[in-house]
Structure 1
C-alpha cells in the first residue's frame, strides 16, 4: 500500500483530493437531505461522466494529434497528455534523425566507387547501391528478394558464395560488357546478413594479362640466345688453349648463365601455373615416395645440412598433377637447404588427419622476420637480396609453390623466427586424399 501511495504524482494526489472532497460534500448534503446513498450515487455519476469525457477528448487528440493541439486538462489527464506529448516529440526527433542518416547513407553509397549488395541468409538481395545495380544490371522492383545466384550465374562466383574460397574473393568476367568484377563478402557478425562488395578490376586484369604475356614471351625468346651463349661458354671452359687469366671470368659467366637459365625456367613454369590451363590430368601421386627420393637427392649434395630427416605418418596418395606437386616439395626443400647451415637440421613430414593431408618442411636455418612473412610468396621478393643472389636463387620458388597449391585447392602456412628456423606447411583438402592401405609409419 505504501508503494502504491508513494508512486502517486502531485497530479494524482490532486485528483484523489478532489474526489475525496466531492465525496465529503456529497455525504454532508446527503445527511442534511436524509439521502446519503442518492447523494453519493449522483456524485459518482457526475465524476464518471467527467472521466469519460476526458478519456474521449484524449482519444480524439491521439487519433488526430498531427493536426490537433493537445487538450488543456488538469490533474491526472493533464499529466497523461504531457507525457504522451513528450514521447511523441521525442519520437518525431528520432524519426527525423534516422531519416536524415538514411538519406546521408544513400548519398554516400551512391557516391561509392564500389558496388554493395546486402544479402539475406539464403543469399537473397535485400538492398543494393547504384553502382552494384549498374554493374550487375539489377532493378529494385524486379530483383529485390531474388537469390543473387539466379542473377550472377558464374561458377566461380557461386562456388565462392558457398565455400568462401578463395579467401581473397572471386574475380569473374562479364561477357556482355567485357568487364572484370571482383566479389568480396564482408561478414556483418550475424549469419542473417552478408554484405557483398563489388569492384571493377578490368584495368588491373588487363595489366596483369599484359604482364603475364610479356614475361612468358620474353622468357621464351631469351631461351634461344641464352642456349647459344651457354654453349660458347662451355666450349671456352673446355678449351685447353684458353688464357689462364680468362678461366675465372668464364667460370663466373657460366655460373651467371646457369642462374639466368634457372630464372627463365621458373618464369615459364610460373606463367603456366598462372594461366590456369591444366596441361596434365590429375592422378594419384605417391607423396611418401616422392619425399623419399627428394631426401636422397639432398643427401647426395656436397653442401647440405648434416641431418635431413624424413617422417612419414601416412602412406596415403594425393590426387593432383605430379609435376606440380613435385615442384611444391622441391622448392620448399631447396629453400630449406639454402638457408640452413651445415650443422643445422631439416625435417620433412607427411601426414593425414580429419582436416586433410599435410606436407611440412621444417629447418633450423636463419629464420625470417615476422614483417616479411606476408610477402614471401610475391615474385622476386627477397628478405636479404645480397644473400639470396649469392646463393643463386631466382626469387620465384615460393611464388610457384603458392600458385601450384591454389591449383590443388591447398594453402601454405608459414611459421618462422629469426635465428631459430622456419616451418612451411602445405594443407591439402580431405577430398584429395586417396587411402592406399592401413597406416604404415616410417621414419628415416
Structure 2
C-alpha cells in the first residue's frame, strides 16, 4: 500500500478515536460515531463525483486538487492517460508512415479478411485491378478477380510461389503476379500484386529465341553429322584423322541431344499443341521402360520395379513418359554398374506418387534448390563426360507443372538420391476392370 493509503487510514483512525472520546464524554457514543461516519462517507462521495466528472471531461478540465488516496488515484489515472496518449500518437505516426510507404511501394497490396473480403488496398492495386474504395470494400476478392487459377490459389495456397494471371485488371496485354501472405490465425491475409508484364515478355522472347535457334540449328547439324558418320565409316580414312573425327562425331551427337532437349522444353513451356489428357497405364509404361533399359548394353546391376497400385493416371502420355525417362536416365547415368535403381508407383489419399531411387553418388544439400534450372550441373566436368545436357530436370519440372504435380528431391552425398513425382488425387484413375489382376513385372 502506498504512503497516501496509510495516511488515509491513520487519519480515519484518529477521527474515529476522537469521536469515540467525545461520545463517551457526552454519553452519546453511537450517535457521534454515526454522524462522523456519515460526514466521512459524504466527503468520499463528493470526491468520487469530482473524479468521475474529471474522467468524463479530462480533455478540457484540469485534474482536481485532492488529498490523500484520492490524490494518488488522480495521479495514477493521469499517468495512464499520458502513456495512452503517447502510444496513440506513436501508433498514429506509424500508420501515417505505413500509408506513405504503401503509396510509394512498386507492388500492389490488398488486406483481406478471413473470408477473403477486401479490408484495404493501396492506390497501386487500385490502378491495376480497377478497385474502388466506396464500391469494393467488403467484397470478396475472387468476385472481382474472376480467374480459375486465382480462385484455386486462394482456396489451396498452391503453388507456394503464387500465380501469374493475364489480364486480371481487364487489360489482356498485362500480366500480374499474386502472392498471398498468411498468418497462423488466418484472421488477416495480405495479397501482394506485382506487374510482371515486362518479365513475361522477356521470358517469352527468350523462349521464342531458344526454340527458333534450336530449330534452325537442326538442319546444318544434320548435314555435319551425316558427313562425320560417312568419314567415320570410311575405311580409307587416314588413321591419324580417325580420333579427331570420332571426337567430332561424339560432340555432334551431344549437340543434337541438347537441341532435342531444348525443343522439347520449348514445347512444354508453350501451351500450343498441348497433348490431350488420356488415361495412362503407369504400371505398363514402367514395366516396358524397365525391360528396354535392361536390354541396353550399359545398365545397373539391379533395376527393381515396385508396383504398389494398379491405378492409372490421367495425363499426356508423352509428357509422363518424358518425366520417367529423364529421371531414369539420370539415375542410371550417375549410379555405378554395381549399384541399384528402383522404380516405384503407389497411391494414397493424397494422390499418385512415382519415385526413382538410386544408390549413386548423391547430391549435396546446397545444390538441391537449383537442380531444375536449365543447364545447372552439380559436377560440370562429370556431366559433360557422361553426355548430359543439363536440361533433363528442367523438362521434368515443366512436364509435371502441366499436370499440377510437383517434384520432391531427397538426396545425401555419397548415399544416393530419390526423385519423387507427386500427382494430385484428381488425376488418379481406377484401373479398368480387364486389366486388374494382371501379373506385374517387378
Q: Give the match's secondary structure for 1:427.
A: strand
Q: State the distance in 1 between where 2:132 and 2:288 align.
A: 60
Deviation at 1:288, TM superposition (A): 1.0
Match among 128, 141, 144 for residue 148 of structure 1: 141
Q: State the distance in 1 between where 2:294 and 2:216 align.
A: 36
Report how many aligned residue pairs link the two structures: 437
Aligned to 2:115: 122
Q: Deviations over 1:184-218 (max 9, x none)?
A: 11222212122211222222111100100001111
Greater Cα offset, 35-44 or 243-252: 35-44
Deviation at 1:259, TM superposition (A): 1.8
Greater Cα offset, 377-386 or 135-144: 135-144
Q: Give the match's secondary structure for 2:283.
A: helix
2:181 paired with 1:181? no
Judging changes above 3 Å, is the alpha-carbon distance between structure 1 residues 370 and 36 closer, same or farther for their aligned structure 2 residues? closer
Deviation at 1:228, TM superposition (A): 2.1
Structure 2 residues not aligned, in runs of 5+ = none
Aligned to 2:47: 54
Judging changes above 3 Å, is the alpha-carbon distance between structure 1 residues 435 and 71 closer, same or farther for their aligned structure 2 residues? same
2:109 paired with 1:109? no
Give the TM-score normalised by structure 2. Answer: 0.92
Q: 1:12-411 alignment to 2 at 5 Å? A: 12-29=5-22, 38-174=31-167, 175-176=170-171, 178-411=173-406
Deviation at 1:157, TM superposition (A): 1.4
Q: Give the match's secondary structure for 1:381.
A: coil
Deviation at 1:35, TM superposition (A): 5.2
Structure 1 residues not aligned, in runs of 5+ = 1-6
Deviation at 1:164, TM superposition (A): 1.5
Deviation at 1:323, TM superposition (A): 0.6
Give the TM-score normalised by structure 1. Answer: 0.91
Q: Give the match's secondary structure for 1:191.
A: coil
Deviation at 1:425, TM superposition (A): 1.1
Judging changes above 3 Å, is the alpha-carbon distance between structure 1 residues 32 and 338 closer, same or farther for their aligned structure 2 residues? closer
Greater Cα offset, 170-179 or 154-163: 170-179
Judging changes above 3 Å, is the alpha-carbon distance between structure 1 residues 313 and 47 closer, same or farther for their aligned structure 2 residues? closer
Deviation at 1:42, TM superposition (A): 4.1
Deviation at 1:149, TM superposition (A): 0.8
Task: Output the aligned Cα RMSD.
Answer: 2.2
Deviation at 1:138, TM superposition (A): 2.5
Judging changes above 3 Å, is the alpha-carbon distance between structure 1 residues 217 and 28 closer, same or farther for their aligned structure 2 residues? same
